[in-house]
Amino acid sequence: NAGVTQTPKFQVLKTGQSMTLQCAQDMNHNSMYWYRQDPGMGLRLIYYSASEGTTDKGEVPNGYNVSRLNKREFSLRLESAAPSQTSVYFCASSDTGRLYNSPLHFGNGTRLTVT
């Protein structure tokens, strides 16, 4: 059982380049999330999708777009990468989005460096 799978694991981009981070879950969860993790700042929510067909902004959405491709997949796109987007990106999923009875399951992250 793979859980939440993120690809790629590592990526180096030059300023201005674009890329898409992929996330897939095999737990039949309804809700999916994208977080970024930076030293001393914890994890901050970028975007989330409460259910297939819906997406909503989190705390730090600027510079990002998302697509909930189907129930399994939720991608994060950087249209024009900036050094400030150097971070570790985590995808997570929850069965119902009611976190007290359906906790978040995280992938192992994508480590992105923008030079």
Partner 1 sequence: QQQVKQSPQSLIVQKGGISIINCAYENTAFDYFPWYQQFPGKGPALLIAIRPDVSEKKEGRFTISFNKSAKQFSLHIMDSQPGDSATYFCAASWDTGGGNKLTFGTGTQLKVEL
Interface ranges with partner 1 (CB under 8 A): 4, 31, 40-45, 48, 50, 54, 56, 58-59, 90, 92, 94, 96-100, 103-104, 106-109
Closest approach, Cβ 100 to partner 1, in A, equals 4
Closest approach, Cβ 50 to partner 1, in A, equals 5
Closest approach, Cβ 16 to partner 1, in A, equals 29
Cα distances (angstroms) measured from residue 73 to each of 24, 34, 39, 113: 4, 12, 27, 23
Nearer to partner 1, 13 or 92 (CB): 92
Cα distances (angstroms) measured from residue 31 to each of 50, 54, 75, 83, 103: 4, 9, 13, 29, 11
Nearer to partner 1, 57 or 80 (CB): 57
Nearer to partner 1, 58 or 63 (CB): 58
Cα distances (angstroms) measured from residue 110 to each of 73, 96, 99: 15, 25, 23
